[in-house]
Amino acid sequence: DMKVTQMPRYLIKRMGENVLLECGQDMSHETMYWYRQDPGLGLQLIYISYDVDSNSEGDIPKGYRVSRKKREHFSLILDSAKTNQTSVYFCVGGPYAEQFFGPGTRLTVL
Amino acid sequence: GDSVTQTEGLVTLTKGLPVMLNCTYQTTYSPFLFWYVQHLNEAPKLLLKSSTDNKRTEHQGFYATLHKSSSSFHLQKSSVQLSDSALYFCALTPNNNNAPRFGAGTKLSVKP
């Protein structure tokens, strides 16, 4: 099974600060995703990465950007965080038949 | 576009009773359907999956059958336990390299 890691696990930031969420995987799989989870809304797709420097917006990309310079590493960046970006963020990756989740990052923006 | 619908937000049951959590989907591609279970403050974990029409798949007492004719993949268990209390997500991956899509989730609460 693919192992997906996320750092940090918990993060508290003030409104307007920059946020970097990091994701790693151990199988060099091409496709990775960032989702956010909010109560009652399920998992919403923020960004997709098909490979190094090949990224695409998901359903709710506003306020976010991503970086993938190595296949094993996929970052989510919030420039000037907003309070409505308080959420749990999951990095997900894997082939068509199976997706692997990272443990999640709980971000609070005050 | 691809989508997954879970109609129940919360299902509350007494231990020992059967449960069915509904999942329907929309896609124009051949899909893989998944059920994930998420316990409090944890990541979703795969419960079961299927891409085969009309074949029942089972895991840990839960089972589901993919019915492409009705675009459904309902999750069932014949006798729920207290430990089954969790959030359950239905998900779809179409076979066209599009991203996985998740339903809103159904919270299952099992009472003694």
- By CB atoms closer than 10 A (0-12, 13-18, 19+), residue A14 is exposed
Q: Are B46 and B38 in contact (CB under 8 A)?
A: no
Which SS3 state, helix, strand or coil, does residue A26 take? coil
Q: How far apart are CA B8 and CA A97, in angstroms?
A: 26
Domain ranges of chain B: 3-111
Optimal mutation site among A99, A100, A101, A106, interface B, most CBs of chain B within 10 A: A99
CA distances from A48 to A51, A66, B49, B54, B61 (A): 9, 9, 22, 31, 34
Query: The domain B3-111: what is its CATH number?
Result: 2.60.40.10
Compare all CA atoms of chain B with the CA of A58 and give the residue at the minimum distance.
B99
Query: What residues of A are in contact with residue B99 (Cβ under 8 Å)?
Result: 33, 45, 48, 58
Find the helix or strand (DSSP H, E) in which A92 lies: strand A87-93
Q: Please write the tens of the pLDDT for every residue from A72-107.
A: 999 999 999 999 999 999 999 988 888 899 999 999
The pLDDT mean for chain A works out to 95
User: How many angstroms separate the first and last alpha carbons of chain B?
Assistant: 41
- Shortest Cα–Cα distance, A18 to chain B (Å): 24
The token pair at B52 is 């085969």
* Residue contact B104–A41, C-beta within 8 A: yes
User: With 90 as the cut, is the pLDDT of residue A2 above it?
Assistant: no
Domain span including residue A74: 4-109
User: For position A17, which CATH number holds?
Assistant: 2.60.40.10
Mean per-residue pLDDT, A39-46:
90
A-contacting residues in B 81-100 (Cβ below 8 Å): 89, 91, 93, 95, 97, 99-100
Q: How far apart are CA B57 and CA B75, in angstroms?
A: 10
Residue A96 has a pLDDT of 80
Mean per-residue pLDDT, A53-64:
96
Q: Are B2 and B98 in contact (CB under 8 A)?
A: yes
Please state the domain count of chain A.
1
Q: Are A109 and A89 in contact (CB under 8 A)?
A: no
